[in-house]
A and B are shown apart, each in its own frame.
Chain A
Amino acid sequence: MHTDDGNKVRNVHVYLLSEAFIALQVLDFPGGKVRFSPELRFISESPEERAHCYRVLDDDGLIITGSNYVQVDEEKALKMYSDMVTLQVMDTIFYEAQRQGRISFYVTSIGEEAINVASAAALTLDDLIFPQYREPGVLLWRGFTLQEFANQCFGNKADYGKGRQMPIHYGSNKHNYFTVSSTIATQIPHAVGAAYSLKMDNKNACVVTYFGDGGTSEGDFHAALNFAAVREAPVLFICRNNGWAISTPTSDQFRSDGVVVRGQAYGVRSIRVDGNDALAMYSAVHAARDMAISQHRPVLIEALTYRVGHHSTSDDSTKYRPVKEIEWWRLARDPVSRFRKWIESNGWWNGEVESELRNDMRKQLLHAIQVAEKVEKPAVMDLFTDVYDVAPENLREQEKLLRKTIKRHPRDYPSDVPV
């Protein structure tokens, strides 16, 4: 397309650029001036270099020289570490409980402890959480007790969801943690809506929503980023890019440079972070939160990590990915031991406290599931309440009929349903 004539014209004018000439070379278009170009050149489908990944701690848990990060004091660091360890122990015990048939289902967060806990540590309790399902560490950080976790997994009457959802679908108003939804990515636009609500109220808080790499293929992800940018909503989008959507690898999920590059396309500030580096996660979320609230803007954080566990207890991931790969991430890239090396290097931690903590958590968790198992299951009434704010006539009638029938045939009804 570059004719000789065209090149000649361009060369002549190279030295004659006047402001008037520049004005001819740009188009005033909604969004700003667009420069014209005589070159027939397409924007490349991939950048020359992949987006960089922010990290603070190296593989040995040492702070990388020249790192730009937010300080974490001893008290906070120790709580972060012990919550990550607690999460690991909880995953182990609950996973075993599922294998023993005591609960029906479980999802572990192994490998993603730093994303869970460090992001939570960088927020305040006023910030609203719209989780996917692999972020129980956020709830743990906020003070949800092991007993509360166990009650939900066992679906007993102490569960805040009254036993209405599968295990791991936690939700707690007092922790500003919106009930987990099984549908992928629906929480992302919900987060934007709640952020809009916060903004209308001028609250000094933001909304944080989590999702996986697979979730970014849902229309909801795209709609939510676009809306958040347009409505200037204070929301943090945290993508846990753990490489696998059940058995689908990211190479079958998208061809972009991961997720972080999509932020710019929607006008959303974004950063890629080493998700297995707790200090980097903490700093990135801390900085993003400040920007979201003070500048009324959404921020996208892509945390690179790996789903070390199976997708859920219904999955055996060794069927579709090499065990060597899993083991490498589990051992060489473990976020918990990396953070431990750092707190140990600061003289805040040692092996003795470590085994004490693990033993203690194990005991507490075993106790919690024993208690949860013995708590009564939800009552008959809980089948009918909360469908609406006030039960309509047909539900009241059905409940009445059911109670009558149970009374008439008590032996035909399961004894574990309190009437």
Chain B
Amino acid sequence: MWGLLRQKVGAGSSSALSMQRIRPVVSALRNYSSAAKEMTVREALNSALDEEMSADPKVFLMGEEVGEYQGAYKISKGLLDKYGPERVLDTPITEAGFTGIGVGAAYYGLKPVIEFMTFNFSMQAIDHIINSAAKSNYMSAGQISVPIVFRGPNGAAAGVGAQHSQCYAAWYASCPGLKVLAPYSSEDSRGLLKAAIRDPDPVVFLENELLYGESFSVSAEALDSSFCLPIGKAKIEREGKDVTITAFSKMVGYALKAAEILEKEGISAEVINLRSIRPLDRSTINASVRKTNRLVTVEEGFPQHGVGAEICASVVEDSFGYLDAPVERITGADVPMPYAANLERMAVPQVEDIVRAAKRACYRAVPVAATA
């Protein structure tokens, strides 16, 4: 609840900062070799899909509008022409149908990539993701493996209301048997999607609509078709010594932006891009907290039982003695997403919320309890 209150106070006091201005920060990636090139997240996802489909004839893509229309967000651009309608399947509009069919295809030798137009719609198919995909390898004692990827945009977009704007990271990450990945940059998108497709376990791959058009610099290494990122490993996007900020997906950009602001005020923030929500890289998070002694978690999802709650629990369990301040959780407001732009803005974390939380954690601002 505190997180929510802070957020509202914060949002109300800095309405001049528009969504467009808060672009993902790429500075941390700019120290790659000269062979690096700029690439949008959309291109990164598309090239990863293309390369994996080319490398393995068992991989196929299925979902609403993925073929002729090339995907609602054009992630599958050009793939129908290249791989044909047998491997890029436009489906009838039944999430439960194509998810179940994908799971069945995975049971018997294929490696489906299932696209949800938005992860909100995966709720119509969640039985197949949880009861079938996640549990079958265990229930069959390894007789039925389920190499499948469920992917699509997750979390808040802009102006699309409650049924298009929810973050499902905590939902899927609470279920054993699933792996849950959330890329931020183009390098993340390429490396993690390729890892997800190659992985023998079911993977929930949470993209972000607002990041699709963002450009990031990508190293030559990450452009290679053999490139792959390890599942379960977080990335320290920016090193720091005063406070640890964990984030995933779009919030990594916000956290980096907040870190820049904090730097000007003499606070050195370490920003961790979680990349993998399940398995969660507890050791990287805890090692960072043991160094900085302070933690701010950031996510767009709801506060209760959220990713931040899990990270907080992990740090309390493993590094309690190292904490010099209460853990701060910055989350989406505990309400379904409102449509009106002014309210929507108040319902999701903003850069200044992160800045304020980090300052409080560093005892450079008045604690919330004193202002309440």
Contact = CB atoms under 8 A, between A and B. Distances in A.
Interface string A189-218: 111111111101100000000000000000
Nearest to B112: A193
Contact of B103 (A193, A227, A230): A193
B101 A192 contact: yes
Interface stretch (A16-24, A35-43, A65-73, A385-393): A385-393
Interface in B34-63: 60
A82 B127 CA distance: 39
A292 to B, nearest CB: 16
Contact of B139 (A130, A169, A195, A227): A169
A193 B137 contact: no
Nearest to A190: B104
Given A227-B92, A394-B279, A193 B138 contact: no
A128 interface: yes
A173 B99 CA distance: 22
Given A179-B139, A194-B108, A197-B108, A223 B96 contact: yes
A193 B146 CA distance: 12
A189 B141 contact: no
Given A223-B96, A392-B279, A393-B232, A193 B143 contact: no
A247 interface: no
A220 B100 contact: yes
B141 A219 contact: no
B141 A162 contact: yes
Interface string B164-181: 000000000000110100
Interface in B128-150: 128, 131-132, 136-145
A317 interface: no
B316 to A, nearest CB: 16
Interface string A309-322: 00000000000000
Contacts of B201: 388-389
A231 interface: yes
Interface residues of B, number: 46
Contact of B105 (A164, A169, A196, A388): A196
Interface string A119-163: 000000000101000000000000000000000000000011110
Contacts of A192: 100-101, 104
B98 interface: yes
A179 B89 contact: no
A385 B145 CA distance: 13
A98 interface: no
B94 interface: yes
Contacts of A193: 100-108, 110, 112
Contact of A388 (B86, B107, B137): B137
Nearest to A397: B282
Most buried by B among A173, A188, A223, A387: A223
A382 B92 CA distance: 40
B131 A227 contact: no
Contacts of A382: 141
Most buried by B among A171, A194, A230, A385: A194
Interface string A178-191: 11010100101111
Contacts of A179: 136, 139-140, 143-144
A172 B98 CA distance: 25
B97 interface: yes
A219 B131 contact: no
Interface string A322-353: 00000000000000000000000000000000
A317 to B, nearest CB: 27
A116 interface: no
Given A169-B139, A179-B139, A392-B232, A190 B107 contact: yes
A352 B16 CA distance: 94
B109 A223 contact: no
A394 B108 CA distance: 29
Most buried by B among A165, A178, A193: A193
Nearest to B90: A230
A201 B137 CA distance: 23
Contact of B132 (A190, A201, A388): A190
B91 interface: yes
B336 interface: no
Contact of A161 (B86, B131, B139, B176): B139
Contacts of A165: 139
Contacts of B159: none
Contacts of A219: 94, 96-97
Interface string A358-382: 0000000000000000000000001
Contacts of B127: 183, 186
A84 interface: no
B232 A186 contact: no
Contacts of A224: 97, 100-101
Given A227-B101, A388-B201, A197 B109 contact: yes
A196 B132 contact: no
B131 A186 contact: yes
A337 to B, nearest CB: 36
A88 interface: no
Contact of B101 (A178, A196, A200): A196
A418 B92 CA distance: 49
B272 to A, nearest CB: 17
A223 B99 CA distance: 10
Given A161-B140, A219-B97, 12 more contacts: A160-B141, A161-B139, A178-B144, A186-B131, A190-B107, A192-B101, A193-B106, A196-B101, A220-B96, A223-B98, A231-B101, A388-B137
30 contacts: A160-B141, A171-B140, A171-B143, A179-B136, A179-B143, A179-B144, A181-B131, A181-B132, A186-B128, A186-B131, A186-B132, A189-B96, A190-B103, A190-B104, A190-B107, A193-B112, A197-B105, A197-B110, A220-B96, A224-B97, A227-B101, A230-B91, A231-B89, A385-B142, A386-B137, A387-B138, A387-B177, A388-B177, A392-B279, A394-B282
* 8 closest cross-chain pairs (CB), A and B: A193-B104, A189-B100, A223-B97, A190-B104, A193-B105, A194-B108, A193-B101, A162-B141
